[in-house]
Chains A and B, each alone.
Chain A
Amino acid sequence: MDKSINTFKELEDICKKNNKQIYEVIQKYEAELAETTEKDIRLLVKKSLDAMKESIKNGLQSKEMSISGMCGDDCDRLQKKYQKEGAIFGKTFEKITTYALATIEENLRMGKIAACPTAGSCAIVPSVLVGVSEDLDIQEEDQINALITAGTIGRIISNKVALAGAVAGCQAECGVASAMAAGALTQMRGGSIPQILNAVALAMKNLLGLTCDPVCGLVEIPCVKRNPFLAIHAVTASELALAGVESKIPLDEVIDALEQTGKLMSPMLKESSQAGLATTKTALNLKEKLFK
């Protein structure tokens, strides 16, 4: 096996040296690590991809509310709006935003999802990957390639920062999901490896400091709406990167900043619901009603 791949610089160098795409290098690397075949790794990735498509499909058809009753019918609302009047940016925008709401609402009503990287951020990668694949007619093998790249981005970040709101805030959950989606999308659209990594850096940089302050301690407010927002955010990063816009701060250094910001962030803003949105007057009223 090549030496271990724990930074984006190492990833880029190995791809360059062997003249290979990220997914080619990583599926081989993962197969050797797990003492299995590249085909088996791809099957595991496909299992996740299939689950993502299933949660989109189920979510689009439901408006069942969560156990708390706070969320669950916004995807239906958005679909009705689009039926009446399309989105300003067209079909792809419609797909990404509805697929994101469909998936995250499926999560909160205890439906089946793929945690990517976490349950509360599970809609960002699938909505971009599946929505764009449908519109650009991207085949399943290339979708799997993109999901391998998304997983690679998350894995390298997780070497430095635990992908958990309680450890580093939402920047490490929805933030990282958006960075993963930006890289995956850039690859699907034929971007070069530097462009893929730039898309990741641009997306990540713009989400540093994002806190985790869930109302009533539940994965609902603000998590549900944050998913479609950060899916579109990933598209913005990808467009910039494909245009040749570069992050002046190299990606590995952006991840250092992510780690440091997570450490400096008050524990009150890291999934403990002791500050921020969670302690607003309305949130406290909701909490009182819910736990009565």
Chain B
Amino acid sequence: MKQTSIIDIISPVMVGPSSSHTAGAIRLGLLARNIYNEMPDKVTFKLYNSFAQTGKGHGTDKGLLSGVLGLNVDDTRIKDIFNSDLAKEFEYEFQYLEDFNRHPNAVDIIFEGHRNMKISGNSVGAGEIEITNIDEFSVSLTGKYNTLLLIYKDVPNMISRVTNSIHVNIASFHCDRYAKGEEASMCICLDGEVNQKVIDFLYLIEDVYMIRYIKKLES
């Protein structure tokens, strides 16, 4: 049995009205921001199913945008984010869709800029979230662990070269690839932290295209 804490029961302190549709949306935006980690020119939010149907009434749109702008779940500026100067940093657009193959509270966050990236995730209840896809790779990110994400060429010994360099206990590990020998992704959730030296070292590994060190979200 996974132990919960009494603190989980009497919090989070958040802006309302819904833990799944508001706090979850903010946290999805925050985690997507940490993954993209650049200033975008434009962000498109595609909201699905219940997120699309009840999102406006729950401030899901405001939450997603606020998260991408770096605001936390208890930030009272979220309510008026559309009129805030903060929201002038980049263009944004919302689309409301139905797709019953997707989770009831699903979203695609599409970043356009120096680099384009599509991040998909779900709000799974009580403010908990999961990022399930980055571009076409499947990943599993919940914001509960510091996470290393690598995009690299699918060649032998890549996993051992990476894990030999990080010296931190690994909580979970997930790989995916387009096809043998092509682009692949590695998603490593860590119990501790890694420093910039480790990240610089990982960049020295041949055939690593992109590295992101995604800090865990405040609970």
Contacts and interface: CB of A to CB of B under 8 A. Distances in A.
B15 A110 contact: yes
Interface in A151-181: 151-152, 154-155, 158-159, 162-164, 166-167, 180
Given A147-B10, A216-B54, A217-B50, 17 more contacts: A33-B5, A45-B6, A108-B16, A110-B59, A111-B15, A111-B79, A112-B16, A113-B13, A113-B14, A115-B12, A115-B127, A118-B19, A119-B22, A154-B10, A155-B8, A159-B4, A217-B53
A108 B79 CA distance: 11
Contacts of B54: 216-218
A167 B53 CA distance: 19
B17 A150 contact: no
A116 B10 contact: yes
- Name the residue among A33, A109, A112 with the largest chain B CB count within 10 angstroms: A112
A116 to B, nearest CB: 5
A142 to B, nearest CB: 16
A291 B56 CA distance: 9
Given A110-B16, A119-B17, A119-B23, A151 B125 contact: no
A106 B16 contact: yes
A251 B40 CA distance: 54
Highest count of chain B CB atoms <10 Å: which of A4, A26, A34, A67? A67
Interface residues of A, number: 54
B78 interface: yes
Given A114-B13, A155-B8, A164-B126, A219 B3 contact: no
B74 interface: yes
Contacts of A30: 5-7
Given A6-B1, A162-B125, A218-B58, A113 B16 contact: yes
Interface in A188-219: 216-219
**Interface hub of A34, A216, A217 (most chain B Cβ within 10 A):** A217
Contact of A111 (B12, B16, B58, B125): B16
Interface of A: 4, 6, 26, 30, 33-34, 41, 44-45, 47-48, 51, 66-68, 106-120, 122, 125, 147-148, 150-152, 154-155, 158-159, 162-164, 166-167, 180, 216-220, 290-291
Given A120-B18, A159-B1, A162-B125, A112 B74 contact: yes
B95 interface: no
B32 to A, nearest CB: 21
Given A114-B10, A163-B9, A119 B57 contact: no
B196 interface: no
Contacts of B14: 112-115, 119
Contacts of B56: 67
B58 A219 contact: yes
Contacts of A163: 9, 126
B7 A45 contact: yes
B101 interface: no
Contact of B6 (A111, A115, A152, A167): A152
Q: Shortest 4 CB-CB distances between A and B: which pairs?
A: A151-B6, A107-B16, A154-B9, A217-B54
Contact of A47 (B1, B11, B23, B53): B11
